[in-house]
Structures are given as structure tokens and as C-alpha cells.
Amino acid sequence: MGQFILNRILSGIIVIFGISVFSFLLIHFIPGDPVKIMLGQNATPEAIKQLNENLGLDKPLLVQYTTYITNVLQGDFGTSLKTGRPVITEILDRFPETVKLAAAGIFIAIVIGITLGIIAARFKSSFIDSGVMMLATLGVSIPSFWLAILLIMVFSVKFTWFPIAEGTGLRDLVLPAVTIGVLASTMISRLTRNGMVETLSNDFIRTARAKGLEERIILFRHALRNVLIPVVTLIGLQMAALLGGTVIIEQVFNWPGLGTLAIGAISSRDFPLIQGTVLFMGVVYVMINILIDVIYGIIDPRIDLSAKEAR
Amino acid sequence: MTNSRCTKFFALLMVLLMAMFVSVGCSSEKESSGEAKKTDNTSNSDNTSGNTPQKGGTLTIGYAEEPDSLDVQKTGMMIGSIVGSNFGGSLISMHPKTKEFVPNLAESFDISDDGLTLTFKIRPNITFSDGTPLTAKNYKETFDRALDPATGATIIPGQFKQVKEILAPDDSTLIIKLNEPSAPFLVNLSDPGYMQPLSLAAIKKEGDNYGRNPVGVGPFKFKEWKTGQSITLERNNDFKWPAPFFKNQGSAYPDQLVYKFIKDYQTMIAALDSGSIDVAYGIAGKDVDRYENNNKYQVFEMDRQGIGLFLEMNTENEALKDKIVRQAVNTAINKEAIVQAVLNGKGRVAHGPIPASFFGYDPDVEKYDYKYNIDKAIKLLESDGWSKNDKGIMEKDGKELSFNLMILDRWNQPSQMVQAMLKDIGISIKIQALEAGALIEKAASGDFDMTFMGYFGVDPDSLYTFLHSSQINVMNHSRVNNPELDSLLDKGRKTIDLEERKKVYFEAQKLIVDEAYWVPIYSEKQYHVANKRVHGITQAFNGLLFQDSWVSK
């Protein structure tokens, strides 16, 4: 197990290295002189030279990258061109809000998704089943901004139950979290249902039923545990994606998370901030993935992680 | 069987969703009473007559952009100055109605006859919110800081180019000496955001953090900045030095002023509708009718300060070098149709390079500008030796009149209209949508045929930036190099006598229109919408003022 985790971390580091190279090169992909674009047309030649030196753009690429990565390792992601504050401060200001939103959204997704999945499986081929699966299809096809705007129009504007763009308190959290939850639940419910249907047709379930066990115990104790593995993977992946900032949902609900930070950075051509957020999101994504692999082993002891790796 | 159930279920769901939409739609209809359209162009809009102002409450303002910094000298964003104006003030202010300059933080001011020496007497007993008294020396230090290259100030160095020296012979006297008379200087000086006095003690104390914890002399003081969300200011109870044109000569009424940053326009509208914000800046013309017809809201309408859309032609282009071609392009564009289609009619046709709302606008331009006339445009080209080839495009010596037109995404609709209009006279246009930075860079280096552009300003001196030969490779995208125009634009800067200055710009306008460097298209109207729970908003030429404002609870 220890060996496996080590391997996963090592491969994670390689991926992160790749991301760092990519985010570093980002600034060099810009057509034209990035410094001129950053400073605008009225920039004096001195200012251009100054920024070129500050960003180290006058040095060879390899030297630039080494400096960049050394600084990053020391926690220095550079300085935001717009606000003049350290990039890491800007990111850490926003990250907790994104975590809050992602956690609340995933929580709602799990509750809705697993509940609906179990119900659909329990009443397989009935109208309840097709209804739930219809909902899931609908959920996958609804664009997130559409659902977001619909919820705002109904619950903020018409009924004024939940505020819009007021802050990041519990009441503010409800609508964006429900939007994320509803959309993310669709995949979960589908996966849960299919897994359950498959598991429920197994011999051991038939045995359990024959023993006269309560349906509740069969569903939750015997069947659900077997279904959880792919579901947890999915949830993990969704969580990782959400932690990168749900750009559209954050934008529509004016949620001050990483997504809106990234959008703002792009629209104000704040390159150090763009680089920083890309790298940060990448690291988070990789770390969550490693975490999921570890959780596997805990949920299902049958998975011998080191053995799988050795194969 | 399952299928038909699904279909039924789906149909039911759609009906439910539609019902939801209809009910939402209805509610906003219901609210609109038959109250007469109220578009307040005058200054004070107290809607509940007989109500006396109440202290307390929070006034919340929605704005699309978040400032970079509240160090007003370092901010490069308009919103930095707008928020800053609430904790700042200016030596002089422009009266919102008469547009005359009145003393504000200065109790009096004097301009020497040659226009070179400006003397201000600082009003006594003004203090910064940290308790430091305001003196002429503060002001001198403030401006010195802005002019020190190490500060990296954004706006003041450009606006103070003509300043020779700044003196503070005693605590109450501030003297600004200019190298040459400058008419726009007073306008610039009246900005309570950028031009406010700063407490050097506070700047020193806060260091790098000053931009997020500023100190000023205004009616509000800085309280909190929630990154990505809002800036909260609280009332400065010691404040008793507002500009003389306000009714309220004491401290502000609301306890707090909150600027909320809402980037998404639809969210801004929803926040206004749900009452999360009281005032929304920058509501589009297409949405304004809904608020005008709703007695819960008040609408403030103002002309854009500048030309919102004009077409620049590169005078170094082989074909566009020819004035007659440029005039034909001007004659072929139906500006009225563009205003109707793009702005829903909420804007004015731009006849010349200066908008009607500016000083120095010559109404005669409406007579001598190019009237939309396809036949005339075609004749112009034909008289110049152009003739339509078999593709229907004007051609001369084997060269076709076909151009690239650079646009930003938001100018998609007008660009297609211009494309169709120019096609009618045999000019072929290829539209090229670019990202703003790339467009500006290409425009500045002259790497284009035609480009759309817009500008904000307060004074006709803006033309200097766009058309003076010294600005080639910067903002003079059309690469105009016309000594006669140069001398007019120089003269306009230095002439203090208003009547004479006006004449200079009249002449410049005529010349620019005749040379047809641009096709000025429109100046759109701009709208700010406020909930009627906010009373006493003053409309100034470039924004809203809240000194007389109070909120009902």
C-alpha cells in the first residue's frame, strides 16, 4: 500500500511538472510582445524594459523556467499585475470559497444522486424508474447557466427567498450549490442505478432475500457497498473538477471563487495570475486523484493496491 | 411502453417549466403600473416629496468591474476613482447643472490673466479620516508623489504635463504654475477620485497595503474590501465640507456605502430586481423600458461622454489615402439605421468627431456632415475613376476596393450592417473579430485597413490623442499627419478664453469631417437604474452623486 501511494505521488509529480511547464510557456504563446499587451499602448519604453526585467523575459527560456519553478517551490507565484498583490494571496483568498461551494454542491449531488439511483433500481422498469432516468437525462442536457438563471429568477427575483450576489453565507450558498448538485447528481444516480440493478440480480442477493432479510438491509448493507466504488471514483473526479472553480456557475452567482478569479485574470491579461491559477488548479486536481485512489483501498479492502500496481 | 411513459413525463415536465416561466414573466408585468415615463435629466430626483431625509441604512451599488487598487494615484481603472471619490474630494467641483467650476476643498480659487498661475485657498478645518488636518502642503506632497516616477501613478502624470511647479507658501495657499495655459486642466482637477489629497503619513504607515486601506477627506471612510465581492465604506461623521451645490452640507445620510462587483450583466439585473443592490450602473438600452415602466425604479439617462462607435480608416492604405474614397465611405453609411437596430434607438447619430454633449460641439456639423446617399457615394467613386467590375466591386487600375475591418465581438452587429451598406456602393469588407489587446496593438502599429473604435472623454481635447501627428504609433490609428489640424489641436489645448477655444474646435471639426478620416457612427445613451428606496440621487454629467442620498428602511 505504501509503495503504491509513493508511486502515485511520483506520477503525480510528473504530471504537475508538465502542468508547470505548460503554465510557464503560456506567456510565450501570446502573439506579439506580451509586455506591451500587458501595459497597453501608452506604456513608456522604460516601463516596458522594467517589466521585461521584472518578469525576466530578457533571459533564456531555461533560465526563466528554473527561476520560475524555484520561486514557485518557495511559495512565490509572482505578483498580480492588476492588483500588485502576491498571486498566492489572490488564490488563497478565493480558494476557500470554491471549496465551500464545491463541497456543498457535491453533498447535494450525493444525496440526490444516490437516493434517486437506489429508488430507480428498487422499482426497476416501473414508471418511477423511467421517470428518474428521464430526469437524469434532462439533468445532463440542461446547460448549467440556464438552470442557474432559472433558479435565480424563481427563488431570488420572484420569491426573494435566497439573495443573489449578497455574500457567501449559508443562504447565499443554497442556489449555486443546488445548481451544481442537481447537475452533478445526474451521473451519480445513473451510475448508482445501473450498479444496483446489476448487483441486485446477483445470487447472494437472492440468497439474502430467501433468508427473509429485510429489503432495507439488502439494499443498503449488501448491495450499495458493492456499487459505491465506481460512484466514489465519479464523485472524486467531479469534486476535483469543481475545485478548479466552476467558472460558469461562479460567474452567474457572482461567487468569489477560483473560477471568477481566473476569468477576471484572463480579461485583464494578468499573466502571472493566469499562470498561478492554472498551476494551482492542476495541483489540486492531481492531489484529489491520488486521494481517490487511496480511498478505494479503504472502502473495499479487496482491492490490493500494491498488487494492482505491480501487475 | 416505457417510451410513451417517458414522453408523457417529459411533456408534463415541460409544461411545469413553462408555467414557472410564465409566472415569473407575469410578476414583472404586474409591477409595471401606468406611471408616466420618468427619465430624469435634471439634477435632483427626490421622488417622495414631503419625506425628510433619514440617517442610517446601507446604500448598495452594483458595478461590473472590481478596482485593482484604491490608491487613487495607482489605479488604472475608472471604478478605482469612482469608489475613491467617496472617500476623497477635489479642490474645485463642476456644478452638475451649470457646469461651472465652484470651490470645494478650496474655499476660493483664482486664475491669473495669462492662465499660467492657479492659486487655491484651502478651506480651513478639513481633516483626513485618520485625524490629520488638510493643508496646502498635503496637497503639494500628494501631487509630488504622483509625479514621482517611482510611484508609478497612472493618470496624474499625463494630466499634469503642463505643470511647471507646485508651491505651498503657507498652510492654506496652494499655487500651481503651468508652462502653457491649459483648458482641460481644470476639468481634470475637479475629479474627486484621482485628484483627491492624500495623507502621506497614512501611505507611509500602510506601505504596500495602502491600496487596500486608503485614507481620505471624503464623506465616507474605507471599512472593508472583500476580494471578488465588495468594498464597504462607512460614514465619516466629521465630514462637513461637501461641494456647495448639495442640499446636505453635513455628513452623509447612509451608515454605509457598499460597492458590489457583479461581472455578469444578467446577474446584475437579477440583483437589482431582487433588491440585493439599490443602484445598478450601466443598464443596456434594451432593458431600460422595463424599469421606466415600473414605479419601483428610477432611471437616470445620460449621453455617453465621447463617441461610442466610429470607423477609423488607415490613411496610409493605398486606396484610403484618397480623400474621395473616404468621403464615399462616409456617404454610404446609414447611421440612423445602425442606431435603430443596434441601440434600439437609444442613442444619437454622431455627425462629427465630437459628441453633442461636449464643450466645443458645433451644431452646424449636422448640416455639413455626410448624408446617407448611395447614389451620391457611387458617383463620388466614379468621378474618382473607379468603376464596378463583373464581381460588382469598384475597381481602378486593376485594384479593387476591398478592405479588412477589425472589430471586437460586441461590435458584431454594426459591423455586419456596415459591411452590407458598403457592398451597396461596391466596396467589399472582410470582418475580422479580434481580442481587445490584439486589436489595439494592430491599430497602433497601422497594420489594418479599417477598424471600429470608441472613446470616452470629457473635453474635445480627446481629439488630440486620436488625430495629432505626434500620436502616430500610439492612438492616432488613422495615422493622420495634417499640419493644419495639428496646429488647431495644439491651439485648443492652450486657449483659455472659452469663446475663442470653442471656435478652434469648430474649425477642427469642420476640417476632420471634410477630410473624412473617420466615419463617426453613434454616441449611445447610458443608463443607471436605482431602486426608489434611495432618495435624492444627484445626476452629474458623468455619473451619480450620493451626498444628498438617503435610504428608506
List, in order, residues 6 or more apart from B413 with CB less than 8 Å away: B341, B342
Cβ contact A164–B475 (<8 Å): no
Q: Quote the pTM value.
A: 0.81
User: What is residue A305's predicted lDDT score, i.e. its pLDDT?
Assistant: 52
Q: What are phi and psi of B87, to 5 degrees?
A: -110, 20
Mean pLDDT by 10 residues, chain B (553 residues): 46 45 38 36 43 92 92 89 95 88 94 92 94 94 93 86 93 94 87 94 92 96 94 96 94 96 92 95 88 94 90 96 96 96 92 92 95 96 94 93 93 96 96 85 91 90 93 92 96 88 95 97 94 94 89 87
Q: What is the DSSP string of B398-454?
A: TEE-EEEEEE-GGGHHHHHHHHHHHHHTT-EEEEEE--HHHHHHHHHHT--SEEEE-
- Cell numbers for A57, please give them: 523575459
Residues of chain A with CATH 1.10.3720.10: 92-302
CA neighbor of B44 nearest in space, from B287, B245, B345: B245
pLDDT tens digits, A97-149: 999 999 999 999 999 999 999 999 989 889 999 999 898 888 888 888 899 99
CA neighbor of B212 nearest in space, from A262, A90, A77, A269: A90
Q: Tell me, yes or no, if B213 comes closer than 8 A to chain A by beta carbon.
A: no
List, in order, residues 6 or more apart from B272 with CB less than 8 Å away: B62, B280, B283, B297, B529, B531
Task: Please state, in angstroms and rounded to a whole number, the distance separating the CA atoms of residues A260 and A254.
Answer: 8
Which region among A205-209, A307-311, B111-115, B156-160 has the lowest average model confidence (pLDDT)? A307-311
| ipTM for the assembly | 0.84
In order of A128, A187, B7, B541, the CA distances from B14 in angstroms are 18, 21, 10, 48
Which residues of chain A lie closer than 8 angstroms to B273, CB-CB?
Answer: 157
Q: How do B537-540 and B543-545 pair as beta strands?
A: antiparallel
Give the closest of B212, B267, B475 to A165, CB-based: B267
Q: Which residues 87-126 in chain A show a CB within 8 A of chain B?
A: 90, 93-94, 97, 125
Cβ contact B227–A90 (<8 Å): yes
Task: Please state, in angstroms and rounded to a whole number, the distance separating the CA atoms of residues B164 and B142.
Answer: 16
Residue with cell 454629467: B541
Q: From B3, which residue of chain A is nearest by alpha-carbon distance?
A: A130
Specify the DSSP class assigned to residue B208. G
Q: Tell me the three state secondary structure of residue B475.
A: coil
pLDDT tens digits, A20-34: 998 888 777 766 666
Give the closest of A41, A156, A163 to B475, CB-based: A41
- Cell numbers for B37, please give them: 415615463
Beta-sheet strands, E only, within B112-218: 117-122, 163-170, 173-178
Nearest C-alpha of chain B: how many angstroms from A16? 27
Residue with cell 440493478: A197
Q: Which residues 156-195 in chain A show a CB within 8 A of chain B?
A: 156-158, 160, 163-168
What is the dotted CATH code of the domain comprising A92-302? 1.10.3720.10
